[in-house]
Structure 1
Amino acid sequence: MGMSATDKIIERDALNWLVRVNDPDFTDWEAWEDWMAADARHADTYWRLAEAEQDAVEAFRTAPARRTPVIRRGFALPRRAMMAAVVGVFALGVGWIGWSARPQPWLIETAPGEQRTVALDDGSQVVLDGATQLVLDRRNPREVTLKTGRALFEVEHDETRPFLVQVGDTTLTDMGTVFDVTHLRDGARVSVSEGQVQVEARAGRALLNPGDSVIASPRGLERRSVDVDGMDDWREGRLSWNGERLDVVAQDLGRTLNRPITVSPELATRRFSGSLNLRGTSAMQKSRLELLLGVTVIEDGEGWRLEP
């Protein structure tokens, strides 16, 4: 059985820590210890990777012109330094391997109201909505992180290399499909148009098929159906929802209209189904919102507030 998306991320992070700890200028011991203690799998993976490279260590020991660290007699190493010395022996062997495998992040950012299409080296394509930040890895185009905003993914099929999308604490695994992802304030929303997407979140797991959608948040996994044909309508200025909470609707509106939009507490959990064309003037937009959402739109500084 292959590794899960979470295990792959832990292994990648463990390798990064091995390389960092081997850096003579490394000082971030507290963060390293916190990461090791956060999950038992972290320490297990860390030491497994270190021990797996003993052959490389032996090769480096016999290589000429290599400086060897010297510890003076009578000098007591601090606990952290002693741990680092153990790690360092292994990391010397994996350092050059780890360095070549380390992620090379590449941030793509769109301004509010801007849309951008990015073609990846593997043939996949990502369409970014306005006010969106996407982090790519130049060495592995099939692992991306959606930091903010919304993106539509059209993934090239590859059975041996699943496509991974990280959205906060939620990991999406895809083998070749079309799906839409939104980074929400307290979670992530995923909708599938073609193929399948595996969603892994703290609240649980879900397998999404065409027409399926889920919001992963501290409240749990909230599933619903979506119109496949209208999933990318936001590219043309039209937003569609099916039983969506108004606090989530407000986030979509704010990103599209480039203004902060908040919802009064008594309206936050109200559900809305329908679509909105957001083209036109500010007055036209407010009028449509009030009519279709059944709310009053109040100007609140630079933003709007939705009230009963």
Structure 2
Amino acid sequence: MSDDTNRDPARQKLAEEAARILRRLDEDPDDHAALKDRDAFLARGRDAKRIYAVMARGFAAAPKTLKDRDRRYSIGIVGGVLALLSLAFAWEPLKVAWLADYTTRLTTEIIELESGDTTTLDASSAIQEETNAKIRTVDLLKGAGFFDVDDDGRRFIVQAGNVTAEALGTAFEVMRLGDDVIITVADGIVEVTGAGQIRQLTEGKQIRVSPFETSIRSVEPDTVAGWRRDRLTIGGMTFGEVASVIERRMSGRVFVISNRLADDPVAGALDLSMPRNALKTLAATSGASVVEVSPYLTIIYSR
């Protein structure tokens, strides 16, 4: 789910593996199998070493009484460690802040671009704009945007990672979710280039472009970019991805402590006007628990 550890499945998996090894060594420092697993883990490379070091510092700082308690209590340890991990990989948000021409924080915002076009940015989103006499280009650096484009003779292109969406007189949404990009057309036609393919989408069509594949489905046009009205209609998304959309509206971080839970497909609709309630509603649909460790850290885990 990326610029963050909890949105990067590979790094989250490493963090969970490191936590398991540390728990085993805490119970028995001479556990030969655990020591062997630790050495094999560290041999995986730089990311593994950095994650293990941060996890070890956080685990060592936790009181023994808390370590000895059951999972409901020890979840706070893991949450605190993952918060440290988010700082360890904080260079990406700094890069986005440096490049962005427009950013939003905890709410959506309607922005008039230099090109004269109008876009609505979702909460915690950022774009960079470049305009000249022949082309209008917007780079969606993070989050999501809804673009309502007039045909003034110049091309209008939205770039999101390795995916481009060229508007042919249209209104459409572009959303970044980790390494994936979702483009949904509310009106008109959009030409999408990504994963070695070029596709034209019409009203009510949505494409999801992953590094190695694409998928297309139909949606109701009036649900496109529903976050503009504090409404999220969920389809074709996982639990972790929906949690990341809700997180954009929260002042703190949200971590899903389970790859299986994070990867579960979900469906339905959520009211985003009260993000914490939306998060609890999402968790309830999957039988998960939400723990607010602090106003700035929320943990979700399987029961």
Task: Note if 1:157 corresponds to 2:151.
Answer: yes
CA distance in 2, matches of 1:138, 1:164: 10
DSSP 3-state at the match of 2:291: strand
CA distance in 1, matches of 2:201, 2:299: 33
- Deviations along 1:162-198, whole A, 9 cap, x unmatched? 2111101111111110101112221211111001111
CA distance in 2, matches of 1:281, 1:241: 15
> What residue ranges of structure 2 are gaps of 5+ in the alignment?
1-98
Task: Note if 1:186 corresponds to 2:179.
Answer: yes
Instruction: Write out aligned runs for 1:71-220 (5 A).
Output: 107-111=101-105, 113-120=106-113, 122-139=115-132, 142-158=136-152, 160-220=153-213
Judge conservation of contact 1:134–1:144 (CA < 8 Å) in 2: yes
Judge conservation of contact 1:190–1:215 (CA < 8 Å) in 2: yes
CA distance in 1, matches of 2:109, 2:148: 14
Instruction: Write out aligned runs for 1:30-69 (5 A).
Output: none
Shift of residue 262, structure 1, vs aligned partner: 3.1
The farther-off stretch of 294-303 and 212-221 is: 294-303
CA distance in 2, matches of 1:241, 1:224: 13
- Deviations along 1:66-88, whole A, 9 cap, x unmatched? xxxxxxxxxxxxxxxxxxxxxxx
- From 235, 238, 241, give the equivalent of 1:242: 235
Point out which structure has higher relative CO (alpha carbons under 8 A, 6+ apart): 2
- Deviations along 1:200-243, whole A, 9 cap, x unmatched? 11353322111111221224112222221122321222211113
- From 262, 266, 270, give the equivalent of 2:264: 270
DSSP 3-state at the match of 2:249: helix
- From 277, 282, 285, give the equivalent of 1:289: 282
CA distance in 1, matches of 2:275, 2:244: 19
Q: How has the CA–CA distance of structure 1 residues 300 and 219 changed in structure 2, closer, same or farther, with 3 Å as cutoff? A: farther
DSSP 3-state at the match of 2:242: helix
Instruction: Write out aligned runs for 1:245-264 (5 A).
Output: 245-263=238-256, 264=258
Judge conservation of contact 1:225–1:242 (CA < 8 Å) in 2: no
Shift of residue 131, structure 1, vs aligned partner: 1.2
Shift of residue 138, structure 1, vs aligned partner: 4.4
- Deviations along 1:3-44, whole A, 9 cap, x unmatched? xxxxxxxxxxxxxxxxxxxxxxxxxxxxxxxxxxxxxxxxxx
DSSP 3-state at the match of 1:249: helix
Judge conservation of contact 2:250–2:275 (CA < 8 Å) in 1: no
The farther-off stretch of 178-187 and 219-228 is: 219-228
Judge conservation of contact 2:115–2:131 (CA < 8 Å) in 1: no
* 1:109 aligned partner, one-letter code: T
Judge conservation of contact 1:254–1:261 (CA < 8 Å) in 2: yes
Shift of residue 304, structure 1, vs aligned partner: 2.7
Q: How has the CA–CA distance of structure 1 residues 152 and 256 changed in structure 2, closer, same or farther, with 3 Å as cutoff? A: same
Q: TM-score, normalised by structure 1?
A: 0.59
CA distance in 1, matches of 2:273, 2:132: 39
The farther-off stretch of 167-176 and 217-226 is: 217-226
Shift of residue 253, structure 1, vs aligned partner: 1.5
CA distance in 2, matches of 1:228, 1:289: 23
Task: Note if 1:305 corresponds to 2:299.
Answer: yes
Q: How has the CA–CA distance of structure 1 residues 258 and 194 changed in structure 2, closer, same or farther, with 3 Å as cutoff? A: farther
Judge conservation of contact 1:122–1:156 (CA < 8 Å) in 2: no
Residue 231 of structure 1 corresponds to 224
CA distance in 2, matches of 1:235, 1:202: 28
Q: Runs of at least 4 residues of structure 1 off by over 6 A?
A: none
RMSD, aligned CA: 2.4
> What residue ranges of structure 1 are gaps of 5+ in the alignment?
1-104
CA distance in 2, matches of 1:265, 1:189: 21
Q: TM-score, normalised by structure 2?
A: 0.60
